[in-house]
Amino acid sequence: MQISRRDLMKAGVAMSAAPQVAHAANDRIQVGVIGTGARSHELMQALLQLPSAHITAVVDAYTGRVERAVSRTKAKVHKDYKAVLADPSIDAVVIATPDHWHKTMVIEAVRAGKDVYCEKPLTFRAEEGVEIQRAVKESGRILQVGSQGVSSLVQQKAKEIIQSGKLGQITCIRAAYNRNSAGGAWIYPIPPDASPSTVNWDMFLGSAPKQPFNLERFFRWRCYQDYSGGISTDLFVHLCTTIHYLMNAKVPSKVVAMGQLYRWKGSRDVPDTINAVVEYPEGFAVNLSSTFNNEHSSEGSFQILGTEGTLTIGDAVSYFPEDVHEDNAWIVASWPEALERAYYQDAKIRESEMPGTRQPRIKEGMLQYRQEGVESTVAHMGHWLESIRSRQPYWEDAAAGHHAAAVAHMVNRSARTQRMVEWDFNADSIKT
């Protein structure tokens, strides 16, 4: 799905008249936001750039976030997420809570007749994906997952190049995402007014194991496996969403991974360094790597390696053609001299192994493409609003979200058990 700036500004204005979609008289999509943390505020800022959406409700377990959300959106504060879902004026919800809440809120939202934008990862456990997909299908609602990279023109250009065949046969992908700061390792500053009077600890915990009130767990929840899958579900999900999108791949068949906690030992119970080898039945392998102890490739690094060329993807997509030719001179030089001379009298061998003897020709060199215009999160939100209008889901639907998150869960299980983990394609879950 391609979307222009003009489309973004108009997305959802002519809303579908389907009876299951209710909208306000001004025909704007009425959006409730469940969870108003730092990423959620970025999502709200993106929605505010799209006039076809109107943020009317917010809820969070910390009053300070709610206060800031109201100052930005003028939305009404609801006491909990169930009150948002029960509000008949709300058409759609953004779910930007800790991971352990996603399944419950997504399923309840679609059953309440709301379309959903859920931040990645869609699932906290791999087996939740099948249940979410079933609920979405039965409800007929739109679900879009929030790995915004697939809405960038850079990744769309990369997909176009791959589909053109310019890379030849792709057999290996290297993807990394590194950081080297306390903030990058999720040790975020805690608001000075945070206390039991401003933080609803029970609302945060939900179904997670009971713990005494703890501000570090509340504001730095990605550091703890009770609420997050750590690096794998925060960063690898982005990488794997892109890989699945570019390669038309579904889910890997096998994963082997190792994860260790080397540096940030006093602040978490999830690894700060993970390496994984991921094998896909479509015929290629992926090396996933991340550490919170070095900034190299801090914004994400992709190398897509094909027999005829290479793509690198970051802020830009760059194409490098392969300069392939055989070079057996050092082998043939050990033969008898007459056999060596005869070897190079073969025209096909000279064409293959002696590029300097070929007729002159122009050869394509490195190409690079950059994106300009609105940020990818705005485009991704625009796709969601357009899907609500058209009732046609964008690429990153429940299945795509489930399978991208599944890779992270396979990585974590392999690292934890020190065993290879396989996917059960019949059950659409990790093989037990």
For helices 237-247 and 153-164, angle between their N-to-C axes, nearest 10 degrees: 40
Q: What is the pLDDT of residue 297?
A: 65
Tell me the mean pLDDT in the region 381-403: 97
- Domains parsed from the chain with CATH numbers: 5-151+375-398 (3.40.50.720), 155-322+364-373+403-430 (3.30.360.10)
Q: Which pLDDT value is given to residue 9? A: 42
**Beta strand pairing status for 143-146 and 284-291?**
unpaired
Tell me the sheet residues that pair with 279.
Answer: 254, 285
The residue type at 392: Q
d(CA 155, CA 239): 11
pLDDT at residue number 7: 42
Strands 29-34 and 92-95: parallel
pLDDT at 299: 58
Higher pLDDT, 362 or 432: 432
Q: From the centroid of its chain, how far is CA 418?
A: 25
The SS3 of residue 134 is helix
Residue 403 to residue 272: CA distance in whole angstroms: 23
Rounded Cα distance, 138 and 129, in Å: 14
pLDDT at 430: 98
What is the per-residue pLDDT for 26? 58
Which tokens in the block code for residue 130? Answer: 């099948």
The predicted pLDDT at position 355 comes to 82
Segment 158-179 mean pLDDT: 96
Contact 366, 161 (CB under 8 A): no
What average pLDDT does the segment 244-254 reach?
98
Q: What tokens were used for 202?
A: 């029970």
HSE-CB at 138 with a 13 A cutoff on CA atoms is: 12
pLDDT in tens, 194-231: 999 999 999 999 999 999 999 999 999 999 999 999 99
Model pLDDT for residues 48-92, shown as the tens digit of each residue: 999 999 999 999 999 999 999 999 999 999 999 999 999 999 999
Distance CA 236, CA 90 (A): 32
Q: What is the pLDDT of residues 171-198, one digit of tens each?
A: 999 999 999 999 999 999 999 999 999 9
In the prediction, which pLDDT does 315 show?
87
Average pLDDT over residues 392-408: 97
Please say if the pLDDT value at position 258 is more than 90. Answer: yes
d(CA 303, CA 173): 6
Beta strands 143-146 and 92-95, pairing class? unpaired
Which band of pLDDT confidence, cut at 50, 70 and 90, is reported for residue 6?
A: very low
Phi, psi of 139 (to 5 degrees): -85, -25
pLDDT recorded at residue 3? 41
DSSP annotation string for 61-104: SBHHHHHHHHHHH-PEE-SSHHHHHH-TT--EEEE-S-GGGHHH
Reported in sequence order, the residue ranges of 107-226 that DSSP labels E, i.e. its strands, are 115-119, 143-146, 170-176
Cis peptide before 191 (omega within 30 of 0): no
Residue 17 pLDDT more than 70? no
C-alpha neighbours within 13 Å on the C-beta side of residue 159: 19
pLDDT digits (tens, 9 = 90+) for 404-429: 999 999 999 999 999 999 999 999 99
Q: Measure the CA–CA gap between 181 and 4, rounded to whole angstroms.
A: 36
pLDDT of 131 strictly over 90:
yes
What number is the average pLDDT over the span 115-120? 98
What is the band of 298 on the pLDDT scale with cuts at 50, 70, 90?
low
Residue 323: CB atoms within 10 A of its CB come to: 9
Q: Which carries the bigger pLDDT value, residue 174 or residue 351?
A: 174
